Every structure is written in C-alpha cells, then in structure tokens.
Structure 1
Amino acid sequence: MVPSLTIAQSHGIALYGEPALPEDFTHLPHVNPDAPKGGTFADGQVGSFDSLNPHILQGRVPWQLRFLVYESLMGRSYGEPFTLYGLLANSVEVNDAQTQVTYQLNPAARFSDGTPVTPEDVIWSFNILGQPGAHGRYRTAFSKVTELVQVGEFGVRFTIDAPDRELLMSLGLRPIMKKAQWAADESAFFRSGLEVIPITTAPYVITDVDAGRFVELSRDPDYWGADIPFRRGTMNVDTIRMEFFGDATAHFEAFKAGLLSTKRETNAARWERDYDFPAVRAGDVTLSAIPHQRPSGMRGLVMNTRRALFADWRVREAMIQAFNFEYINGVVNGTPQPRITSYFSNSPLGMLPGAAEGRVADVLAPYAPDLLPGAIDGYVLPETNGRAANRRGLRAATALLDEAGYTVDNGQLVGPEGPVVFEILLPNGASEMATIADIYVEALKRLGMTVTVASVDDAQFKERQAAYDFDMIWYTWGLSLSPGNEQRGYWGIDGVETPGTRNLMGADNPAIEGMISAMLGAGSQDDYIAAVRGLDRVLTSGRYVVPIWHTPVSWLAHDARLTFPQDRLPIYGDWIGFQPDIWWFEQ
C-alpha cells in the first residue's frame, strides 16, 4: 500500500512527513520580511529575444520571465525540497487512493487587469499546455490526467490514471494564464511574438519592450498577493530590466560601467582575474560567493544516440576517454574546478562510489540485462595527468574504437558507416564552450576523426536542439533536490521521437523508465533516494555526455547597495527564486 500524502487544508503539502512551516507561518524562512521596497534591478543577458511566451516551442524568451511574470497554484520553499505552499490556491486536498488532488483558489487572486482568477482559467491553462505547440516539459503530465473539472465556486480537481504522489503535487506548479486573453484566436498562443503583453497574476507586469534589446518589468502596485505569507519579503525591487547584449564582452563592460546591477560569473579564472576593476576597489560593487547543496546536474557535450556513430556505448566511452579534462580544466579555469561525476553529484541524491548496495542494488536488479558496464559494479570517469598529450586516454579510446569495429585508413577513422565525420553544435557567443571544443577537436583528430565546430545564432540553435538535428551539442541540465515527473521529459522513452524534450541524447533504456517509476512510487524517503541513486547510475554509465565541471558556489558581483539575507541562505543557494526575488536595495 502506498502511503498517503500529507494533506494540509490551508497552507502547504509535503511529499514525506509534514510541511516544516506551520499553518500560521508569516513568511518563508530564507527571506527578510522587513525588506524595504524600491529601486531598479538591471540584469544582462547575452543574445536576443523575439517572444514573451515561455510556454511554447517557438521563439526565444528572456530567461526568468516564466518565473517573474507567471504564477502557479502552489509555490516552492527553497529550503524544503519536498514541500509546496499556497500561492494562487489557499488549500489542497488529496484523496486516499492518491489519484485525485483538489485545489481551492484564493478568492482574492486577481490577474493584473483586476479580473478574478477562476477555475476556468486553471482548466484552460492546463489544457492549452498539453497541445503540440506547447513546450515538451508540460505534455508528459497532460497524458496522465484523465479528468479536470471545477468543484464548487473556487475548486479545481485533477484526476490521474494511476497513483503518483509527486505528480499530484507538481500539478500545482503549472503556470496559470488568462483564458479570455486568447479567446479571439487561441492559435495565436502558439506563435512567438512581442505584440501580446501577457495578462498575469504575478507581482510584476511587463511595462516596456524594445525588440531584441530589453524587457522592463514593473512591480504592480495593485498586486493581489502582496500580503500572503508566501510572498511577504519577496519581490522587493520596483523595476526589473532585462538588458540584452551581442556577446559576453559587451555584457561585462556594461556591468563594469554601472549599467547593470548584477553579473553572474561561471568561470573560475575570470572570477579571480577580471573582478578587480575600479568600482570593486571603490566599494561600489560587492563580490559574493553563494554556497549551495543542490545537484551538480549535467553539463557538457551531449552525444546524439540517434546517430549511428554514437549508438554504440563503446564509441561514447572512447569520446569520454579522449577528453583531457584535467588539462582543459586548467586552461579554462586557472584554478581547477571539481568535475561533474554524475547527474546528481554534490548532493545527497548522488550515486555512491563503488558497487551498488542495499536498496539501490535491489531497485537495479530487475533491469540488469539492460544495464551497461559500470551501472551495478561502479563507474568512474577517467583521470589524466594534466598534460596536453593525454596519451593514456587516447590509447584507451583507440582500443575501444577498435573493439567497436573502427580502423584508421590513411589517417582517417573508418567504421561500419564509413569515415567518422561529425559536427559539434554550439550557440553563438559561447567563448568558453568554443575553447573547450577547440581543444577537444584537436584530440579527436589524433584518433582520425574529422570534426567541425559550428556556432549558430540562438534561433537556429534552439530549432536544431528541439528537432535533435545535431551530432554532438553543448547542453546543461539543471537538476533539483526533488526530482519527479519532469525526469521523463529529460530522459524518458517518449523523448526519443517526440521533438522538444530534454532527452537530447535519445536515451532509450527500460531501466531509466524503471528507476523513474520507482522514484515516483516510493513509499518512503529512503526508497525515493535509492531510486534516484539508481537512476543516477543508469544515466552516468550510459555515457551519453562528456561532462565538464561544476561549481559548488555561485559567484555574483553586484551593486553594493543590493543585498540578501546572508544568514539564512536556502539550500538551493543561487537558484530560481533567489535573485532578484528575495534581494533588496538598502536605502
């Protein structure tokens, strides 16, 4: 028997145990409830945009717009991975069979035009996001909901096809939109563009747009939820400007000149070398290192197993052996950064070293015939001596390629499908990625491979990514401390053929589906962690990605007047819901 979810009629819901905050909580623990309001927060992004709709496949949308402009029934507390608290909804109830969840809307909830948020809006929002033009991350849940109906004046009830505790919670995290805004031409919802300014429920509304240059958001003085506990102490700045730049250099120079409020740095060498400019020395810019306990996720060069070359795991392992991580790490970062060793490394969810034991071994056992070497007995990434040659790695790669039927003929590697020729796809302006790829290509040439690096504009990159039109591509999966149904969209079997999912590698393994099912049906937190660690082993030993490094801290340079609650950092650290959400300007 699957245990029941914790049911909180008025304030929150937890996957395991009770919500940490009581029913009468006044604010989230990682915020300053007395933070002053005011100021303009200017953030920079490299690239461009041509859409204000982050829910569809078409178009390029400013990062974070989804979270600053659209609200959901429930919201995450980033100090609790498995708990949601009321936002648009003020109560939630789950039936004993765990196949139904009923959300009661807060009667005070309003759209930015002053009209009430209704169950009809919730139902329409869910249904529109299940259509083919919507982003793939929404469609997996759509297929599992068998009925969605209004209950009473303010209630909405979801019924799913089988018990799934995590899904019942995650349905509360879907964006809610205004049905009437699209009533005249619903098909327009799926077309990218800047003509339609969304009517939303969030604290911010879009007040100015200059195509490809900036988007301005203003705090709504009539925002309906300013005093609900979930919002108190958040969304403190009056104005948010998202500024766009053609390349990283222009972005950094704008920050140094004081045109931007913040700059997030991802490169250790640049953090050590480039952040000693006059504004820092004068005390006008503060350098903050924000620690976190979230999973490393996966970041690196993804091999598309839909291509014959990368369908063989031995070839994929050869590609990993040929990647001189220690040398590239030193060249790019100066101060070496820790390598991503698995998808959930740096967190309690990551696989442990050595052979699988206990619950993890048990959950993997039924899928042993489908597992690659290393899944059960343990998989470790290769280490090099840090020298440029990497002879040992190239020898190992050559042996694997030979075993897979590849030979060198007049300097060209030839396999079952002919000469090995492929392309690494990168987005324009990604200088760090380009440096990594260039060093890597030189090593691959020594194996006899003909490899080119193609850098394309944002639109083309996104289009080819969604269509899986690449051999090898640069990508990052950010993973949370509460993975759930979204994992099917990341690596589920539907993504092998369905465009627009995050299963870029084309992973097609029953063990992946089995681990996700075990995770979603876990009756205790221990069983849940075992299933996630099992999934981590299957993915890592699948050898789908040539991983690079992660940083267990986030580096933020920011206006010295811009501050945050340093004594109560959430375990997620610098993540969605952190900046600018809980920051404020000191008066």
Structure 2
Amino acid sequence: MRPGLFHFIAASLTGIALFFGASPCQAAPSHGIAMYGEPALPADFVSLPYANPEAPKGGRVVFGNTGGFDSLNPFVQKGTAPWQLRFWSYESLMGRSWDEPFTLYGLLAESVETAPDRSWVEFTLRPEARFSDGSPVTVEDVIWSYETLGTQGHLRYRGFQSQIADIVQVGPRSVRLSFTTPDRELALIAGMRPILKKAQWEGKDFTASGLSEAPIGTGAYVVTDFEAGRSLTLRRNPDYWGAALPFRRGTLNFDEMRIEFYGDGTVLFEAFKAGELSVVREFNAEKWQTQYDFPAVRRGNVVKSEIPNQRPSGMTGLVMNTRRPPFDDWRVREALIEAFNFESINDTMTGGVQPRITSYFSSSTLAMRPGPATGRVREMLAPFADSLPPGALEGYTLPKSDGTARNRAGLRRAMTLLNAAGWTVQEGILRRADGAPFAFAVLLRQADGEMQRVTDIYAQALRRLGIALRVETVDDAQYAARIAAHDFDMTNFRRDLTLSPGNEQRLYWGSAGAQQDGSRNLMGMESPAADAMIDTLLTSHSSDDFNAAVRALDRVLTAGRYVIPIWQYDVGRIAHIRQLKYPEDRLPIYGDGVNFMPDVWWYEEE
C-alpha cells in the first residue's frame, strides 16, 4: 500500500542534506532525534510540515481491505489482525516525521537524551500522556511493553530485545535503555516501540487474546464495533490526550474510520464504484487510466489524486525459497528470471506505463551504480569476493526481452543455464539427472488476483521450457501460517525500503533469520557480505561510508537473484470522494503511506 516515485531533484538533495548534516551527537535532552545531524524542526514547531494545522475535525471515512481478520491484537504472532490497527490505535514514545529520511519527535515522551556514542538513550514521559481509558502512562508501562513485546510479541519486535543490555527507571517519568552493541539506530528504534497498558494483562495470556480483547493503547482511535472477518469501526476518542500536541496538529481528523472486508480486489473495486467505500489506492497504472471513468468520476463526486515521492523503489515480485532445491542454485534462479518476460507482462498488466524495478534501492541515491563496483563499494565487497554471487563485483543487470510474447532469446538463455545446472528436456519435460521433473508451486492469497494473472502468463512461458508451474491460492490465515513456516516454493513479495535503511535490513536479509520460522528473510539468503554491509551501515559515522554500504548491499541482493522483480509503484494513486482533502502544496518526501492517508487528510463538505 505504499506506491512511490521521486519528486523534484532539489527537494531530494535537501532531504539528503538534512539526513547527513554534520553536527554533534545528541548529548542533552531534546524534543527530537535524527539518525544523522539535527532534527529539521525546532523545539517550538507548530505542526508537521506536511500537515494542515487548520484542518477541520469531523466526518466519516470507509476503507476496504481484502481477506479477513480473526484477531484484534496486532502485536502477537498468532492470528490475523487488520493491519491498520497498530497505526491508528497505538503510539510510541517518539513519532516519525515523513518529511525527513529518519527523524523522530517527542510523542508520549516530552524529551529524548542519548550518550555521545549512543550507547544508551533516555526518554522522559509527558505528564499528560494517557491511555484511551484515561489512565496515565507510566514508566512501568513502558518497561513492561518493551519486555513483553520483546519476548512474547510478534517477531518484528523480538530482535530489538536482544540488543538491550538493560532498561531501568531513572526518574519519576524517565526510563533509560542501554544497548549491547554499537549501533547508532538503536536509540531511534527504542523510541518507536508501541506502549501498552500493563495492568490490562495481569493474570491474562497476552498472546491468546484473539477477538476477545484488544490491547489498550494511547492512540486517537478506539475500536467501537466489529463483525469478525467482515467489518471494523474505530472512532476518535473525544478525550484523546495528545490532541493539542504540535506533532498531532492537523492530523487524525476523521471522527470515524470504518474498514469493510472483501473477498478480492475486484469485489472491493466494485464496492467503491457503488459508493460503499470512501477511498481506494490503485497500484496499476493501466487500470488507473482505463477503469476510473465510471459515472461518479465523470460527475466529479470521485477525485483521482496522484502523490509523488522520493523514496527507493523497494522490491516487489516473486521470491524464490532458496531453502529448497532447485532454487538453491543461482543458475536456476537466473533462468527463471530470464523466462519471465517482463516487457510483455508489463504491457499486458499496466499498459507498459510502470517502469521495472532494477534493484532493491533503485530510483534513489542509495541504488547500486551500473557496471563494475568501484571505489569504496568495491573495497567493502572485496573481502567477500569468493562468496559473492556472480555479477556483484562485475555488474549485474536484469535481462530485457524484445517485447514480443514468445521471448525466444530469453528462453534460449534460460535453457542454457538450466542445462548447465543439470536439467535437460526429456519427452517435453524438464528433468534432473535422476529423472525428477522440474515442477513447483506459487503460493498466493485468494485475494491476490493481480499476481494470479501474472503467474498465469508466466506459467505459459515455463511450459515451453518443460517446467510445470501451478498456483496455490489460500486464505489469509493459511497464507500467514505457511509464510511463517517458510512453507512455499515461490510467493508474492514486497519490501518497502526507505532513505534511511537500518536494523530492519537484518530482519529482511540477515543470515540469523534464514532458518528461523517467522522471520522476514523469505528467500532464506545467508550471505556474509550482506551481513557485513548491514553492520557497516548501522555503525557508519559518515555519509560516504553509509552510502557505499547500502550500494554494496544493493549489489549483493540484486546479483543474488532471489526475486523476480516486477514494476515500480512510482507514484501514489488514490481515488476518493470529493469531500476528502489533503495538503496538496506540502507533500512529504515519503509520499503516500499509512502515515499520510488517512493521517493528514480531512473531511470537508463543499
């Protein structure tokens, strides 16, 4: 749900300058903290630069999700909760500005202080901070939240726990975290953990709440009604404690937000056309151009808005599970990429409008450079030359077809690679030396109609190589369970990446998670070079080293051939009822996202 494009060159350079501006490390209590340099906003800022501080409050907005839900607890591994819950109902000590690469400002905390080397960070709570039931947020709640999420929570919270040496109360409203490893980002990550109410869970199993009980949070919205798997309603708390904060001014403007659930994207789109939904995000450029001409659009009752951004492309496509043969052979992975006729598929699916992702950080200053690695990037990768995938040092680019449907040249190159890997065609079927056929499944959610169409086209090409591809479609719960167990051959894949990559890179591609159930390292990659580049970008004190480490990591990932990339979401496309407004003249550098829509939008009758 996070499409993307790059704004203006001048704005991009400004953002990067803020990211790497030289200044002393944080050494005294402050209203904010940046990964590098100082926060862009002063202590007395009025509002976030992309919010309208005069935005009116009120109105109702209805969103659509595909699939269903069987839990109201978004912080545990068990069950499927509506993904919006953890953003709309819960808060952390610090809040992120999406107009800076990585800067946090006080939210539940009124101030933050770090050691000069960032070996510890200290937060002081605001005295007025309250949970939605009106009870005060205490240091005890903070410590309990960190420890509980770090040991019982979703896996996305557990990695941080191992990097905390201790967490202690150091004042009536102050808590200090000390870290076990040198990592400049940990002080910021510490400020982004959700804070929950300890007293709610005394004598209860936090991991087994399901639909019976939602965690109490401090956010502006609380669940007021739901029908399991069908709908969920949240209303703005009239006593929300943070309504007057500058960080919140002009945000959280709707009185009610409702989510309706549909079996697939087609049914959801029809519901929007019928007026049952207030807004949809569209990720297909061709559909945006050809199918958004229904009567409500022509009458002006529905408006089409495009939101540019400056962030990296990230990676979208089909990921291969290298824990399983034959995907553990880079030649096979390259062959499957060669057989994927992107130009023809893109023309069919998007009208050829959306450009291809060329690397994980493509379309940004952090992307790997064309051709052989040079300079600092080469220096960083050189010690790992023997273990690097082919092309990491020499240069790697994705294959390009002639645009015709048959892609004969690409299929010939694919067959050459497959033969070299020990596969030959026998009576029309591609087989290993032991006679086993090349057959695999693509695991998809039932609601993922777009990728099903992509794989149907792809399967036709693979048949010409003697490879049998079948699509397995399962419901959300089954999909989540199988992904957590890494029980798939190939599946749909999306990783959003930012202008400030950090510890999440370990979760995505770190060797430690390769064999760990529930990890986000879906491809199962184990690369000493990638691990080292992640370590370097986390400990870099200069922009040169940081950029070089990310570009080197981009090379390792892309040349690893783990994902068959598809198209970029190069601009946010939002169709919405005309009463929904946003600050069109002050878009954040990250563009559209869950912290843009609905956070800074408002309802206004004309």
TM range (shorter): over 0.9
CA drift of 1:191 comes to: 2.2
Instruction: Give the structure 1 partner of residue 184 of structure 2.
Output: 165
Letter in 1 for 2:374: E
The question of 1:452 aligning with 2:470 is answered yes
Is the Cα–Cα contact under 8 Å of residues 48 and 245 in structure 1 kept in the other structure? Answer: yes
CA drift of 1:167 comes to: 1.4
- Which of 132, 146, 151 is the equivalent residue of 1:126? 146
Letter in 2 for 1:523: H
- Which of 140, 146, 152 is the equivalent residue of 2:165? 146
Instruction: Give the structure 1 partner of residue 245 of structure 2.
Output: 228
Letter in 2 for 1:110: R
Letter in 2 for 1:107: P
CA drift of 1:564 comes to: 0.4
Is the Cα–Cα contact under 8 Å of residues 27 and 116 in structure 2 kept in the other structure? Answer: no
Instruction: Give the structure 1 partner of residue 92 of structure 2.
Output: 72
**d(CA) in 2 for partners of 1:3, 1:280:** 50
In the superposition, the TM-score normalised over structure 2's length comes to 0.94
Letter in 2 for 1:492: G
Is the Cα–Cα contact under 8 Å of residues 28 and 114 in structure 2 kept in the other structure? Answer: no
Instruction: Give the structure 2 partner of residue 369 of structure 1.
Output: 386
Is the Cα–Cα contact under 8 Å of residues 264 and 449 in structure 2 kept in the other structure? Answer: no
CA drift of 1:416 comes to: 5.5
Instruction: Give the structure 2 partner of residue 474 of structure 1.
Output: 492
Letter in 1 for 2:384: Y
The question of 1:440 aligning with 2:458 is answered yes
Instruction: Give the structure 2 partner of residue 332 of structure 1.
Output: 349
Instruction: Give the structure 1 partner of residue 17 of structure 2.
Output: none
Is the Cα–Cα contact under 8 Å of residues 304 and 504 in structure 1 kept in the other structure? Answer: yes
Letter in 2 for 1:181: Q
**d(CA) in 2 for partners of 1:148, 1:198:** 22
2:150 is paired with a residue of what secondary structure?
coil
**d(CA) in 1 for partners of 2:453, 2:361:** 26
**d(CA) in 1 for partners of 2:25, 2:128:** 27
The question of 1:87 aligning with 2:87 is answered no
**d(CA) in 1 for partners of 2:97, 2:394:** 37
- Which of 196, 216, 238 is the equivalent residue of 1:199? 216
Is the Cα–Cα contact under 8 Å of residues 50 and 192 in structure 1 kept in the other structure? Answer: no
**d(CA) in 2 for partners of 1:4, 1:520:** 18
**d(CA) in 1 for partners of 2:537, 2:258:** 40
Is the Cα–Cα contact under 8 Å of residues 26 and 113 in structure 2 kept in the other structure? Answer: no
**d(CA) in 2 for partners of 1:362, 1:25:** 43
Return closer, same or farther for 1:49/1:150 CA change in 2, 3 Å cut-off: same
Return closer, same or farther for 1:4/1:159 CA change in 2, 3 Å cut-off: farther
Is the Cα–Cα contact under 8 Å of residues 75 and 173 in structure 1 kept in the other structure? Answer: yes
CA drift of 1:359 comes to: 2.0
In the superposition, the TM-score normalised over structure 1's length comes to 0.97
**d(CA) in 2 for partners of 1:3, 1:359:** 23
Is the Cα–Cα contact under 8 Å of residues 73 and 214 in structure 2 kept in the other structure? Answer: no
Instruction: Give the structure 2 partner of residue 210 of structure 1.
Output: 227
Is the Cα–Cα contact under 8 Å of residues 100 and 168 in structure 1 kept in the other structure? Answer: yes
CA drift of 1:569 comes to: 0.2
Paired residues for 1:22-41 under 5 Å:
22-41=42-61
**d(CA) in 2 for partners of 1:570, 1:64:** 20
Paired residues for 1:197-276 under 5 Å:
197-276=214-293
**d(CA) in 1 for partners of 2:505, 2:75:** 18
Letter in 2 for 1:100: W
- Which of 411, 424, 435 is the equivalent residue of 1:394? 411
CA drift of 1:391 comes to: 0.7
Is the Cα–Cα contact under 8 Å of residues 15 and 82 in structure 1 kept in the other structure? Answer: yes
After TM superposition, the structure 1 stretch with the greater mean CA deviation from structure 2, 484-493 or 241-250, is 241-250
CA drift of 1:402 comes to: 1.1
**d(CA) in 1 for partners of 2:38, 2:233:** 39
Count residues in correspondence: 583
**d(CA) in 1 for partners of 2:422, 2:567:** 31
CA drift of 1:585 comes to: 1.1
CA drift of 1:249 comes to: 2.2
1:308 is paired with a residue of what secondary structure?
coil
1:296-336 per-residue CA deviation (whole Å, 9 max, x = no partner) reads: 11111110000021111111101100100000001111243
1:129 is paired with a residue of what secondary structure?
helix
Letter in 1 for 2:343: E
2:455 is paired with a residue of what secondary structure?
helix
CA drift of 1:197 comes to: 2.7
**d(CA) in 2 for partners of 1:8, 1:556:** 42
Mark the runs of 5 or more structure 1 residues left unpaired by the alignment: none
Instruction: Give the structure 2 partner of residue 485 of structure 1.
Output: 503
Letter in 2 for 1:47: G
CA drift of 1:357 comes to: 1.9
Paired residues for 1:178-193 under 5 Å:
178-185=197-204, 187=205, 189-191=206-208, 193=210
CA drift of 1:486 comes to: 1.0
- Which of 301, 308, 312 is the equivalent residue of 1:295? 312
2:327 is paired with a residue of what secondary structure?
helix
1:151-176 per-residue CA deviation (whole Å, 9 max, x = no partner) reads: 11111111111221111211110111
Instruction: Give the structure 2 partner of residue 500 of structure 1.
Output: 518
Q: What's the C-alpha RMSD, in Å, of the aligned pairs? A: 1.4
- Which of 551, 564, 571 is the equivalent residue of 1:546? 564
The question of 1:518 aligning with 2:536 is answered yes
1:223 is paired with a residue of what secondary structure?
coil
CA drift of 1:134 comes to: 2.5
Letter in 1 for 2:62: A
**d(CA) in 2 for partners of 1:4, 1:410:** 69
Instruction: Give the structure 2 partner of residue 44 of structure 1.
Output: 64
